[in-house]
Structure formats: structure tokens, C-alpha cells
Amino acid sequence: MQPLTPNLKTSPASVEAVLLDRDRSILQFNERVLDWAYRKDVPLLERLRYLCIVSSNLDEFFEVRVEPHLTANKNRDAKGLYTTASFERLSQAAHSLVASQYALYNDALMPALAVQGIKIMSHGERNEAQRRWVKQYFEREVRPLLIPVGLDPSHPFPQVANKSLNFIVRLGGLDAFGRANDIAIVKVPRVLPRMIRMPEKVSGGANIFVSLSSVIRGHLADLFAGRDVGQFSQFRVTRHSDLAVDEDEVKNLRTALRQGLQHRHFGQAVRLEVSAGCSEYLSDFLLKQFDLPAGALYRVPGPVNLVRLTQLIDLVQAPHLCFPPHAPCYPTQLIPGMSYFERLKQGDVLIHQPFESFNGVLAFLREAVNDPQVLAIKQTIYRTGSDSELMDLLREAVRRGKEVTVVVELKARFDEEANINWSEMLESIGAQVLYGVVGLKTHAKMMLITRREGRQLNRYAHLSTGNYNPKTARLYTDWSHLTADAALTADIENIFVHLASHSRLPKLNRVLLAPFSLHQKLIRKIHELTDAAAAGAACRIVAKMNALTDDVLVHALIRAGQSGVRIDLIVRGACTLPAQVAGATDNIRVRSVIGRFLEHPRIFYFRHHEVEELYLSSADWMNRNMLRRVELAWPVTDPVQRQRIVDEDLVAYLNDGVDAWDLLPSGTYARVKPLESALAHSAQAALMVRYSGQNDEQES
């Protein structure tokens, strides 16, 4: 690998570096995503999509990262996690991010959409014909599904599901029984679309939409005959949603998780969103009901759930306001019409997704399913989605009499239900379904195919940095690695046996496996380069991942940098390592690349003089990945293949002059200033151009 940054002077002495806050770093990542919604070089509907993505990310942040006792007590233990002051700073950052979202939505995106003839029309803006149509829609489609609940001793505050849309109404006058109970709740049914297109007869042919909340708001009075509707507001509560199942105590993890899913929507509240105009009387009432402090209240000047605006993007037929369609090419290292098994005997194959098609992986499995010489298929399943051709192929393999073993991770967050359904389906038709090791998530992505060839049984494998999900394979950047390497496939066989039998794992030839060897090997490798650099050797570390938060690895990198190792880290999301801090991390550069596709590969590159090592992996450098998950890292030993990864996924991204952000000594990120030179490039855009000249995607 050629030098990618100028030589940096070595710190004369170690200086302690204060690590960055993980949760603040997650919010900073979302600020970088939101920047795409600000960019005028991005198509308008795509800018709206990025706004929605940030809202979805924030939902998950609150559901998973903000623990219930934090919102209640604003305190944690003394091990450096949270104090009242640090939690207040985090809350302030979250409020600031939400405020930026709605300012962008109201002041930039909605006016720009209106210029394009796309408008979400409020009740006050509708003319008489439009109001009549909305009234008819309300009576026909909405009202039959609404049950307003007036609160009294026999009608307590109803159960409100996580992230559901609701109205709270303050009523005047007396009810039918002469009582003055003044609060009512209206749940908005989730089965109804949140965006409704007005028909041409009342829209004048324009793209005019009404929101479901606006439809209900305009007819609240119709729901409370004889009462005066005074104050009202939309509201939405976010609840802690990380499933907690004691695997040591349950006899059937699948059953326990299915039962837990029934309660996920009603976990402890952590955030309350209300309309900006919500009265203090109503917001205080809701805060008390959900046992939340004032800091958990978010007043929003617009839809309380921006995520649902993705429906608008789907409803508007305006290709010129979206990214041009990206068609991945047929994998360049495959030969159309040639058997995968014959091709892999010639050498390994790398597929760079989504620039090259994930269909290459599906075709590999499809050939194995249809080949009578294939006797067994083993695969891990983490996130495949609810509608998956891959799972259909596994089902067909069982039908054809092959031995199919599937390791299903039931605790893949927010994919639990789909994975439970798949596991039950496969088990019902005779597949061997396993759930990995108690207490460890199986996050490794691997497939092993055993084929009879003459008197021998030969193995072929697929390893990946990403999930077996055809939909996300078009949206995430990842590497797929197809191999017939005997040492590597033997390792994968041993790992599957270990996951099934829980027997002692034999020494592996090539693969580094968490929670056994991966963490230790990475630390040892960093220490070796640290010592070599201290002795005057030229040493280099480049690592790409989604998150870097493991304290041991972070401190090892800091010490390596202080010894003279040049380190570049491409970390998409949370990073707790402070970069470019004088006297502490001068030799470490951290950057984040946010592009059209979600950056997802994990790549670890080490160089001592001219000796290079490169690993692909399923693991981020987080404590949970290293010690509480089954993860893989495997070497790419072919020099040509290794250089391809270096060129396309390390050099290109370290020289990205358009979509990259650099972590500053202050702990904040600054977007690189695009060079006026013609050399300025976006790594993702360059890869799309490079592969667009290849053959069109086709089936093998």
C-alpha cells in the first residue's frame, strides 16, 4: 500500500487521551447523515429520505441506548458512564438535532417540494371541495376505526404502544352522565396510511397530499358529540425496546422471545413527542402518565413521526427528484455460464456490493441447491428480512433431500419475529435449526457447501462482511468472499460443528473467531507493530468499520500511534478514540464517509515494512462484538485480491474529497472541503462509474 497521508511526527512521550462519549458520537453520526438532507446537489426526494433516515435512527437510539433509569434519574454508576451533567449535555444534543431536522423540514424541504408541485396540505389551506373530500374520506376510511377513550376511574389511561400516533384532547362541558372528566385519548390505527393523495378532481392534477393526522385533527369535534373540543395535540411515546431474556433460565429461547415480543411495544417510556403548540397542561399530564422528566419532552413543529414521510417519497412519481437507478453489474471475477464450483477451483472470488450484484451469492446457493452432487448446506442467518429468496432456496434444498443446517440468531435486534418465523418454517420441513451459543449472538456471516467429487467430499464457502439480505445488499457496501481454500473451509466446518455441539473448538488454520481469538489477535497485532515502530520500523494500520468503542483496542491504538505507527481509521458511526490530539494521538487520523450507500465493510490492514496482512470481518471494534458475539475475521492472502480491497475500499475512501468527514482534536467532525481540482472525488461515485462499464447484471 502506498503512503496515504504525510508522515506525522511521533509524540515524544505518551500523553493520556480522554476518550470520547459513545452516545454523543452516535448523535454526531446522525448529524452527518442529516447533512445529506441539506445538500443541494442531492435530489430533493432523496434529501427528504435522509431526513427520514435520521428520524428512524433516533427512534432506535432512544429505544436501545437511552435506558429508562437514565430519563428518570439522569445518573449512572461511578465507572465513567453518566453523571447528571453529562446526561444533560447528551439530552441537549438530542434536542438540538431534532430542532435542526424540523427547521430543515419546514424552511427548506417543504418549500422546495412546493415549487415542484408537491404539497402536504393542512386543514386550514384546503378549499371547500377539498374539505368535502377529506370529510368523506374521514367518514368512510377513518372514523370506523377510531375509539375515543374518555378518561375516568373506570377508563384509566390506555396502553399506548411504542412509537404509535395518538391524540390527547381536553374537553369542555359535561359528558353524557353529567361528569366533567376533561381528558380523552384517540389512538390512530396503524393499519391506515399516514399520507393520502388527493384525487385529481380536487387537486387540480397537482401532487397534493393530506396527512392522516391532519384528517383526524380536522374532525376531532365529530368524535365528541355534545362536548367542546379545546386544547389538543398529537403525541408519540418511545419506549425502551431491547428484549431482555435470561437464556440461562429459559428452556426454550424461541418461545421466550416470542412471548417477549408481545411486550416490547409496552416497555418503559424514554421519550415523549408532542406538537409544538401542545399546552403545558396536556404535556404535563402526559409526562406524569409516562413517568418522564421534562427533559424527555420533545415539542416538534410538524409531524411527530417524520419516518412515515417515506410514504410520500413512494407515492410521488418523480424520477428526476430521486437518485438515478443504480444497476449493479455481474460480479467481475465470475464467468457467466461457468459452474461456481469449477470457477472456485481456479481461485477465490470477491464481490464488492452493491457495485457488483449480490445475485452472484444467490446464484452460488441456487447452483448448490440444484446440484445432485451437493450433499450438505450449512448457513448462518442474522438478518434476511421477512421475504427472502435465500430462505426459499434453503427450503428447496431440504425438499431435494440435502442436509441443511441453519444457525439462526433469534436475538437479532428488531428482526426477532422474522427469524423466529423462519426457524419454525425450516424446522417444520426437516432442516436442522440451531440457535448458537447461550449468551452469545451469532453475528458471523458464513455459508458452507459440501459436494461429492469422485471419491472426495470437497467444501466451498461464502463469507461476508454483511447480511444475507438481498434488499440491503443493494443499499449497503460490503464484501462477499467465495472460496474453495481447504484450510479456510475446514475452519468454517469446525465452527459450525462447534456452534452445534458446543464442543471444544480445535485450533483454526486461518479464521479468527470471537469470543475466543479475535480480540486477543488484534491486540497482539497492534502491540507487535507498536514495538516494531518504537524500534524504528515503518509500520502502518488502516482499519475500516462501523463503530470503534472497545476501550482496550482504543488504548492499544493510541499507544501504537505514540510509538510511531501511522494509523488511519475509517469509522462510519460511533468512535470514542480522539484523533489528532497534540502529544496524544498525532499519528492517528479518523474519518467517516457518509454516502448514497451505507458503509458496512469491516477491513483490518496491518503493514510492517513490506509485509502486509489484511482481514475481512463481520465484527466492529466494540466490546460486545469481541466478547459477547460469535464473529469472524479471515485473511485475504492472495496479493491481487488483497490489493483490490486496498485500492477500492481503503485508498479510495482515505482520499475521498466529497463525502468524507474528519474527526478534529475538539471531538467534532468537519466535512472535507471539496477540492476545486478535477481530482476531487466521492469514493462511492467513483466505484459506481468504474463498475458501470462492466457487463449488466445477469443470472448465472
Rg of the chain's alpha carbons, rounded to an integer?
28
Q: What is the DSSP letter of 548?
A: B
Residue 302 C-alpha cell reads as 410538524
**Residue 219 known to be catalytic:** no
State the Cα–Cα distance between residues 24 and 30, nearest whole angstrom. Answer: 10
**What's the one-letter identity of residue 145?**
L
Choice among 443, 481, 519, 681 that is catalytic = 443
Helix (H) or strand (E) holding 489: helix 486-501
State the Cα–Cα distance between residues 592 and 573, nearest whole angstrom. Answer: 7
Bridge partners of residue 271, in order along the sequence: 238
State the Cα–Cα distance between residues 680 and 676, nearest whole angstrom. Answer: 7
* HSE of 624, CA atoms in CB hemisphere, 13 A: 6
Residue 274 C-alpha cell reads as 408532542
**What's the one-letter identity of residue 290?**
F
Contact 5, 557 (CB under 8 A): no
Residue whose entry in the numeric block shows the C-alpha cell 479471515: 634
Angle, helix 44-60 to helix 22-38, in steps of 10 degrees: 160
At 481 the three-state DSSP class reads strand
162 alpha-carbon distance from chain centroid: 19
Residue 622 C-alpha cell reads as 466494540
At 392 the three-state DSSP class reads helix
How far does the chain reach from its first CA to its final CA, in angstroms?
34
State the Cα–Cα distance between residues 361 and 4, nearest whole angstrom. Answer: 33
State the Cα–Cα distance between residues 409 and 253, nearest whole angstrom. Answer: 11
Residues involved in catalysis? 443
